[in-house]
Amino acid sequence: MRTIIRGARVLTMDGSGTDLSSATVTIENDTIVAVEAGTAGGPHDSPHPTAGGAGPGVREAGVREIDGTGHLLMPGLVNGHFHSSANHLKGAFDSLPLEIFMLFETPADGARDDTRSAYVSTLLGAVEMLKSGVTSVLDDAFFVPAPSPAAIDAIMQAYADSGIRATVALDQPNVPEIDKLPFLENLLPPDLLARARQPAGMDAAGLLECYRHLLERWHGTAGGRLRAAVSCSAPQRVTPDYFSELDALSRRLHLPFFIHVLETKLQRVLGEEKFRRSLVRYVKDLGLLSDRMNIIHAIWVDDEDMDLIADSGAVVAHNPISNLRLGSGVMPFRELRDRGVPICLGSDEAITDDSINMWNVAKVTGLVHNLNGGDYQRWPTATEVLRCLIHGGAEALRLPQRIGEITVGHQADLILVDLDTLPFTPLNDLERQLVYCEQGSSVRMTMVAGRIVYDNGVVLGIDERALRAEARDLHARRSAAVEAEAGGAARWLPYYRDMYMKAAARDVGLQRWIGNPR
Ligand SMILES: [Zn+2]
């Protein structure tokens, strides 16, 4: 199949930042084969434009023509960190710190423990992303209490059906709760302490068997659109042996390795208490810090941690809205960028962003770091934020194919953005208005690997109304069980609050909260 998109303004996102006022882009199957300034090769108009003018028409057999007049063609957005497991929980809680929030989130996630719920909620998130121009997602899926081949199949089938490009890992601890957190040994009453010492839901052998299923059944399927990654969740949540096994898997198959590191001050305190060093240094000392890693959050990192990350070649996944929602702190963006660390952007889960909207994430990235100091020349620019959003995401994906530019040889992961909309009226500066004005409502078409998956309000092949109705129904049927579980979690709350406040009060030699925190 050949696709020709004519007459659009084209932000190529190539190394020179080429911005063509009008161009013709030709795609053969899934790959961009020509980018020509002007509208060479034919007239602007499509014989069968859909409403809005951006839809496809077919001029001759095997050739699809798209009129891009009045639109911007740019690479699709990448959601560099996501957990599909909480797609059904947006707006479920008031803002809480991570460690308290997770007490309530984990039982609530049990609402998705059957495979149909997992399929429906994963598809719901994919639809939300495609409609706002996200073409790729890195999903660190977790399972309560443990993954199974059927649950993995449900998630991957949803991504297969949606048309989005998805790289999925199994975010699953294999140590007891007591090992993941500081101070609990001395805080919990005997019955809760016994429960906190119970083994994790699945041991390393079981988890590796689940990875075997994910790799054999799904890795590289759907024309290479679906891929596997590995995840240890976080270094304190796994045994060193399992951590090493995951690293070996990642190295052998060139898979991204997801790892949450120093998201919170409590995790910095845990590193001091349990390992007598920073968690970044701990991973380095295990010999596991590598350029395959997608280091998620990296907020409470010190100078040595940032040097180690820079030396490793790892990508950092920045989730500023989640970090604000959970009060985690502000990642040292400029300090990481000064060291040359690639940064991708993520929404994190739908319970900590509440929308799965990468335009919002880009905007907050462009704003929150202005509070890091008065030297305005060190604040992020719109161009820099866009590059994190698209190129950082492409780097984190570690795909065999190239994405993130409209240049010959790259995958056709593209979006058409209507410029005749309020966010772009009048048009002062394209990149700034993409970062600070657009919120996804101007996206008219989303193409993944050369296939149109979203066109003028409709995700193709998905009955969105029926999907939403089923999601509501499945969730309602489980809400009583979820509330009962949340009631059980409340029993732990006073002890977790004590743990959290004790960590919050400690001087760890650096500060990632703003103002005068107490
Ligand atoms: Zn996460």
Whether the Cβ atoms of residue 332 and residue 306 lie closer than 8 Å to each other: yes
pTM given for the model: 0.95
Q: Which two tokens stand for residue 83?
A: 């957990």
Return the pLDDT at 42: 47
Mean residue pLDDT across the chain: 93
Residue 348 Cα, ligand 1 centroid: separation in angstroms?
5
Phi, psi angles (nearest 5°) of residue 231: -145, 135
CA 513 distance to own-chain centroid: 23
Q: Phi and psi (nearest 5°) for 415?
A: -135, 150
Q: How far is the CA of 153 from the centre of ligand 1 (A)?
A: 21
Q: Which residues are bridge partners to 459 per DSSP?
A: 454
Distance CA 513, CA 332 (A): 11
pLDDT of residue 374: 84
Distance 346 CA to ligand 1 centre (A): 9
Angle between helices 98-109 and 493-505 (to 10 degrees): 150
- Centre of ligand 1 to C-alpha 156, Å, is 19
- The pLDDT of 184-210, averaged and rounded, is 96
Of the candidates 182, 173, 98, 100, the residue with the CA atom closest to the CA atom of residue 492: 100
Rounded (10°) angle between helices 115-131 and 464-490: 120
Q: Which residue blocks in 313-353 are alpha helix, DSSP H?
A: 320-325, 333-338
Distance from the CA of 301 to the center of ligand 1, in angstroms? 17
Measured distance CA(196)–CA(180) in Å, rounded: 10
Q: Are 83 and 142 in contact (CB under 8 A)?
A: yes
Look at residues 180, 171, 129 and name the one whose alpha carbon lies nearest to residue 448: 129
Share of the chain above pLDDT 70, in %: 93
pLDDT value at position 476? Answer: 87
Calculate mean pLDDT across residues 296-309: 98
State how far the Cα of 275 lies from the Cα of 268, in Å rounded to an integer: 10
What's residue 177's pLDDT? 95
Q: Measure CA 299 to chain center.
A: 17
Distance CA 51, CA 54 (A): 7
One-letter-per-residue 3-state SS of 243-287: HHHHHHHHHHHCCCEEEEECCCHHHHHHHHHHHCCCHHHHHHHCC
Please list, in sequence order, all residues whose beta carbon lies within 8 angstroms of the beta carbon of residue 217, skipping any fewer than 6 positions away. Answer: 149, 152, 153, 156
Cβ proximity of 446 and 412 under 8 Å: no
Per-residue CA distances from 85 to 217, 296, 333, 420, 488 (Å): 20, 17, 27, 36, 21
Q: Kindly tell me if the per-residue pLDDT of 108 is higher than 70.
A: no
pLDDT score of 39: 60
User: Residue 141 C-alpha to ligand 1 middle, in angstroms?
Assistant: 9
Helix then strand then coil, % of the chain, to nearest 5: 45, 20, 35
Q: How far is the C-alpha of 136 from the C-alpha of 226, rounded, in Å?
A: 10
Angle at 482 between CA 481 and CA 486, to 5 degrees: 120
What is the reported pLDDT for 373? 81
pLDDT in tens, 471-510: 999 988 877 777 777 778 889 999 999 999 999 999 999 9
Could you count the other beta carbons within 10 Å of the beta carbon of residue 215? 16
pLDDT of residue 483: 75
Express each pLDDT in 310-354 by its tens digit. Answer: 999 999 999 999 999 999 999 999 999 999 999 999 999 988 888
What pLDDT is recorded for position 354?
A: 85
What is the Cα–Cα distance from 170 to 343, expressed in whole angstroms?
Answer: 22
Q: Indicate the burial class of 367 (C-beta count within 10 angstroms; 0-12, 13-18, 19 or more).
A: middle
* pLDDT higher than 90, residue 112: no
Matching residue, tokens 């990350």 = 309
Per-residue model confidence (pLDDT) at position 107: 58
Rounded Cα distance, 320 and 329, in Å: 9
Residue 41 confidence (pLDDT) above 50: no
Distance 450 CA to ligand 1 centre (A): 30
d(CA 347, ligand 1 centre) in Å: 9
Query: Mean pLDDT, to the nearest integer, of 428-436?
Result: 98
Residues 6+ apart with CB under 8 A from 9: 19, 20, 21, 22, 23, 68, 71, 72, 73, 419, 430
Please return the burial class of 503, using the count of CB atoms within 10 Å of its CB with bins 0-12, 13-18 and 19+. Answer: buried
Nearest-angstrom CA–CA distance, 236 and 406: 40
**Confidence class of residue 50 from pLDDT cuts 50, 70 and 90?**
very low
Task: Please state the separation of Cα 109 from the chain's center in Å.
Answer: 18
Strand order in the sheet with 315-318: 230-233, 257-261, 293-297, 315-318, 343-345
Residue of 243, 295, 334 whose CA lies nearest to 80: 295
Cα of 463 from ligand 1 centre, angstroms? 29
Cβ–Cβ under 8 Å, residues 278 and 286: no
Residue scoring higher pLDDT (104 or 153): 153
What pLDDT is attached to residue 59? 61
Residue with tokens 């400690």: 506
What pLDDT was estimated at residue 58? Answer: 59
The answer to whether residue 461 scores a pLDDT higher than 70 is yes
Question: How many angstroms separate the alpha carbon of residue 296 from the centre of ligand 1?
Answer: 7
Q: Is the pLDDT of residue 47 over 50?
A: no
Between the CA of 428 and the centroid of ligand 1 the distance, in Å, is 36
Amino acid identity of residue 248, one-letter, is: A
Question: Token pair for residue 469?
Answer: 């109705």
CA of 498 to the centre of ligand 1 (A): 24
pLDDT of residue 113: 60
Average pLDDT over residues 217-228: 98
Asked if 417 and 427 count as a contact pair (C-beta separation under 8 A), the reply is no
CA 260–ligand 1 middle distance (angstroms): 6
Q: Which of 47-51, 108-112, 499-503 has the lowest mean pLDDT?
A: 47-51
Q: State the DSSP code for 411.
A: B
Condensed to tens digits (0 to 9), the pLDDT of residues 363-391 reads 999 999 999 888 999 999 999 999 999 99
Instruction: Compute φ and ψ for 400, nearest 5 degrees.
Output: -70, -30
pLDDT band for 51, please (50, 70, 90 cuts): very low
Q: Is the peptide bond before 145 cis (omega within 30 degrees of 0)?
A: yes
Angle at 98 (CA atoms; ends 147, 201), nearest 5 degrees: 25
Look at residue 127 and give its three-state secondary structure: helix
